[in-house]
Amino acid sequence: MRILMLDNEFPPLGGGTGVVNYHLLQEFAGYPDVSVDLITSSRSAKSYETEQFASRIMNYKVPVDNRNIHHSTNRELIRYAWRGLRQCQKLFQEHTYNISFAFAGVPAGVMSYTLKLRYGLPYLVSLQGPDVPGFETRYRNLYPFLIPILRQVWRQAAVVTAISHEHQRLAYETLDEIEIPIIYNGVDTETFYPGIQNSESINILCVGRLIERKGQHHLLRAFARLRQDLPDFNLQLTLAGTGDAESALKTLTERLGVAEQVRFAGFIPRQTMPEIYRQADIFVLPSRSEGMSIALLEAMASGLPVVVTDTGGTQELVSHGENGLVAGWADVERLAQALKQLLQDKALRESMGIVGRNVALRFSWASVARQYLDLISIL
């Protein structure tokens, strides 16, 4: 089986979608009958690059000249699609493919649709988040133009998958006439495992891009309330990640009077992330919307109790009161109360961390890869 994989982001570019892609390639490398050619982005303005990921897996990076490693502009996405299709044409002269695998409906799904029209190649679309209308508020003015395109791309796909029940529900609001199976994300539980807490302070951790949808501004307000309610607690808040809202968030910490207790850790390489989780006591995911958060899975695998909003992936991963606590989006009061409950009860933090670790053990990347290959084999 030879797969042509399309994804405009791949580590270190992008966010969760690239991480999913990376781990799938790692798993696919263990199948002797599977070969993959991935078309992704290079930060170069002109140079086409190749990278031998594994013996039967090659990454082709087309020049996109990304200015921001966390997300692409519309112009950069168009550049990737145009140059990526040209790279596909070259590869079609050398190889015969069984299927194209598109990470996200735009731009990869549109590229796969184009390849089907030109070469008759069937394709799979793995929906990942913002490519589903209604997921990302900053794209609300763009979604009306994308919906007709996405409907056509999804209809013509051999299969379209989602990554959580909430993600699937949102996708059905755009197109309810096709079946959209769910394949959850995974986590490497050998790399992400619990640590031993020796610090005198209690460290609250939030991992994610610093953008409005991720809700760090609500977390900062909740943290400021905690500082008032629990003045004797030595509390620290770590925000891991960078993004467009970083400057505004730093200003907010000053205004709230918590700047000295909040650490902006910036971009952290993947190999360093396991230790970041092991240094934490509580993990918070205050997002408005998620497909299925990789960071949440990693935190649970690291044995952390979690406080999350009621968003994509929550119902599959977090049982309120068992391995975490659930608050509503933008409910600063409830968020602060949940954190206060965990801060005042070390035994509860420890028991929730154990339950969360056991839940994470059920979400392996090996299982994710097998589900995709089984699905592809019957198309």
> Mind listing the pLDDT tens digit for each residue in 100-153?
999 999 999 999 999 999 999 999 999 998 899 999 888 888 899 999 999 999
Judge if 229 and 206 occupy the same domain: yes
pLDDT confidence of residue 285? 97
Domains held by the chain: number? 2
Judge if 368 and 336 occupy the same domain: no
Which DSSP category does 14 fall into? Answer: S
140 CB-near residues (< 8 Å, 6+ apart): none
Residue 111 located in a structural domain: yes
Portion of the chain with pLDDT greater than 90, in percent: 87
Judge if 39 and 174 occupy the same domain: yes
Give the CA distances from residue 40 to residues 62, 102, 374, in Å, rounded to whole numbers and listed in that order.
6, 11, 24
If you average pLDDT over every residue of the chain, what do you get?
95
Query: Rounded distance, CA 41 to CA 76, Å?
Result: 9
Residue 371 located in a structural domain: yes
Judge if 107 and 221 occupy the same domain: no
Judge if 173 and 269 occupy the same domain: no
Residue 196 located in a structural domain: no
Judge if 345 and 373 occupy the same domain: no
pLDDT confidence of residue 200? 79
Beta strands in 288-367 (DSSP E): 306-309, 324-327
CB atoms within 10 A of CB 56: 16
Query: Rounded distance, CA 110 to CA 338, Å?
Result: 42
Judge if 123 and 109 occupy the same domain: yes
Sign of the dihedral through C-alpha 287, 290, 292, 295 = negative
Residue 372 located in a structural domain: yes
Of residues 6, 222, 38, 271, the one with CA closest to residue 114: 6
Q: Sort 127 into a burial class: Cβ within 10 Å, 0-12 / 13-18 / 19+.
A: buried
Give yes or no for residue 266 having a pLDDT over 90.
yes
pLDDT confidence of residue 83? 97
Beta bridge partners, 307, equal 284, 325
Residue 191 located in a structural domain: no
Judge if 28 and 167 occupy the same domain: yes
- CATH number of residue 48's parent domain: 3.40.50.2000
Q: Which long-range contacts (CB under 8 A, 24 or more apart) does 143-149 make?
A: 146/106, 147/174, 149/106, 149/110
**27-75 per-position pLDDT tens digit:** 999 999 999 999 999 988 888 999 999 999 999 999 998 877 777 788 8
**317-331 per-position pLDDT tens digit:** 999 999 999 999 999
Judge if 110 and 167 occupy the same domain: yes
Judge if 135 and 238 occupy the same domain: no
**364-376 per-position pLDDT tens digit:** 999 999 999 999 9
Residue 279 located in a structural domain: yes
pLDDT confidence of residue 140? 87
Residue 193 located in a structural domain: no
Q: Which long-range contacts (CB under 8 A, 24 or more apart) does 242-250 make?
A: 242/70, 242/209, 242/210, 242/266, 242/267, 243/70, 243/209, 243/210, 243/211, 243/214, 244/210, 244/211, 245/210, 245/211, 245/212, 245/216, 245/217, 246/210, 248/217, 249/210, 249/216, 249/217, 249/220
Residue 195 located in a structural domain: no
Judge if 250 and 102 occupy the same domain: no
**253-263 per-position pLDDT tens digit:** 999 999 999 99
> Residue 221 belongs to what domain range?
202-360
Judge if 170 and 228 occupy the same domain: no
